[in-house]
């Protein structure tokens, strides 16, 4: 889980590369839902009935036409 305090409130990070995403990029997002919305806006796909967990798995396993393109969502965990 992410830090519920003010020190590190972000829930996940995204690593992405290639069209339709920006060049190699690592961004943090407040919520997984925000990262999913970003992916949907770039690809034109919709979440539909999928839960955020199902959508995160779908995005992380999605195969693009160009094998060099990627968009991975990683949830932060703290021990």
**Encoded tokens for 26:** 């690592």
Tens digits of per-residue pLDDT, 22-55?
Answer: 888 899 999 999 999 999 999 999 999 999 999 9
DSSP character string of 14-78: EEEESTTSPSSEEEEESSHHHHHHHHHHHH----TT--HHHHHHHHHH---SSTT-EEEEEE---
Assess whether pLDDT exceeds 80 at residue 19. Answer: yes
52 lies in some domain: yes
pTM, whole model, 2 decimals? Answer: 0.85
Domain, as residue range, for 49:
12-75
5 lies in some domain: no
Q: Which of 57, 62, 58 is nearest to 18 (CA)?
A: 62
2 lies in some domain: no
């Amino acid at each position: 889980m992410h830090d519920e305090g003010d020190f590190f409130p972000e829930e996940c990070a995204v690593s992405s590369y290639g069209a339709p995403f920006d060049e190699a990029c690592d961004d943090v997002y407040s919520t997984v839902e925000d990262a999913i919305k970003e992916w949907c806006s770039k690809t034109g796909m919709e979440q539909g009935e999928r839960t955020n967990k199902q959508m995160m798995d779908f995005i992380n396993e999605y195969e693009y036409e160009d094998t060099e393109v990627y968009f991975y969502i990683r949830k932060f965990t703290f021990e």
